[in-house]
Amino acid sequence: MSELSELYQQVILDHNKKPRNFRKLETANRHADGFNPLCGDQLTVYMQLEDDRIADVSFEGSGCAISKASASMMTQSVKGKTREEVETLFSEFHRMVTGELDEEATPNNLGRLTIFAGVREFPARVKCASLSWHTLHAALAGEDTTTTENLGPDITSDQVSA
């Protein structure tokens, strides 16, 4: 059960139960919908972008514990950051959950988000963790929908060699 308790850590369970910034953002000037057609997960990310900086961000939607907690923690960690900082974070997060980035060996900006490193042991769940990030990315790019289908396979390096 160690990999499992790695995945469902208390912090993740807590964010699942009480997601932060879980609401529609009235001051939003950008938003995007994300779908995972495989499992039916669906969420909307709202953002108030001011001079290339995320002044405020929120989300709504339904999904599993991993996707909800990931969205919740994402909103906390990108608030106040510039577009460039967010893109870096997105890339690091994505590489961490697909097993391309060793967050312990390589300096990075992930901070508390490293709690999602355990997801890479569960290839079927990588998309759950990254859906909110892909959606945020789409909102930043000015697109209004994204689906995990269009994003290429979120497979881990393990899976490729298997």
Please return the burial class of 41, using the count of CB atoms within 10 Å of its CB with bins 0-12, 13-18 and 19+.
buried
Question: In this complex, which beta carbon is closest to other proteins, that of residue 22 or of residue 122?
Answer: 122
Q: How far is the CB of 41 from other proteins (least distance, A)?
A: 8
Among 49, 53, 122, 159, binds other proteins (CB under 8 A): 122
Residue 10 in contact with residue 122, Cβ under 8 Å? no
132 CB-near residues (< 8 Å, 6+ apart):
34, 43, 45, 59, 67, 70, 71, 74
Site for other proteins in 95-114 (CB under 8 A): none
Residue 158 in contact with residue 120, Cβ under 8 Å? yes
Site string for other proteins, 52-91 (x = CB under 8 A): ----------xxxxx-------------------------
> According to the binding rule CB under 8 A, does residue 34 interact with other proteins?
no
Among 125, 126, 137, 146, binds other proteins (CB under 8 A): 125
In the chain the beta strands, taken as DSSP E runs, fall at 30-36, 41-50, 53-62, 145-147
Q: How far is the CB of 36 from other proteins (least distance, A)?
A: 10
Helix 10-17, helix 65-78: angle, nearest 10: 90
Q: Applying CB under 8 A, which residues contact other proteins?
A: 1, 3-4, 7-8, 13, 38-41, 62-66, 122, 124-125, 128
